[in-house]
């Protein structure tokens, strides 16, 4: 049995060090704010989400339902549509719809509450 030389061991060792880079490290987003830590506006937004959005969007999990999950939606630079992830763009998508998502008929306060809740995800 031959013992590998230092030169032969280097590529093997570097493979173990570089493996996560080679296969790709999926960035993780921070977990959503626990429901018991939401403020009053965010609690109202959670209720709006449950009534108007949860049929198609998952809020506290990364699983896709009929639409993309909302987990970390404001922690990304862009929305799944490619639009900037900011309050104004999300408000337009909620009010006007986008692609397969229909427009949601919410009053101004409910829309603000929903956006406040989405920021906690």
Does the residue 112 lie in any domain? yes
Interior/surface letters 43-64, b for 16+ CB within 10 angstroms, e for the rest: ebbbebbeebbeeebbbbeeee
Q: Is 27 domain-assigned?
A: no
- Whether 93 and 101 have beta carbons less than 8 Å apart is answered as yes
- The CATH code of the domain that includes 66 is 1.10.760.10
Three-state SS for 46?
A: helix
The answer to the question of residue 24 being in a domain is no
What does the pLDDT profile of the chain (121 residues) look like in tens digits? Answer: 555 555 445 454 444 554 445 445 555 678 999 999 999 999 999 999 999 999 999 998 777 778 888 999 999 899 878 889 999 999 999 999 988 889 999 999 999 999 999 999 9
Domain count, the chain: 1
CB atoms within 10 A of CB 115: 21
């Amino acid at each position: 049995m031959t013992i590998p030389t230092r030169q032969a061991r280097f590529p093997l060792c570097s493979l173990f060090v570089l493996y996560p880079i080679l296969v790709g490290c999926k960035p993780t987003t921070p977990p959503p704010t626990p429901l018991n830590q939401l403020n009053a506006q965010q609690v109202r937004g959670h209720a709006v989400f449950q009534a108007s959005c949860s049929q198609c969007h998952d809020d506290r999990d990364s699983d896709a339902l009929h639409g993309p999950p909302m987990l970390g939606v404001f922690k990304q630079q862009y929305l799944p549509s490619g639009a900037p992830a900011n309050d104004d763009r999300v408000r337009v998508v909620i009010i006007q719809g986008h692609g397969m998502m229909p427009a949601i008929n919410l009053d101004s306060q409910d829309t603000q509450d929903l956006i406040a809740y989405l920021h906690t995800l």
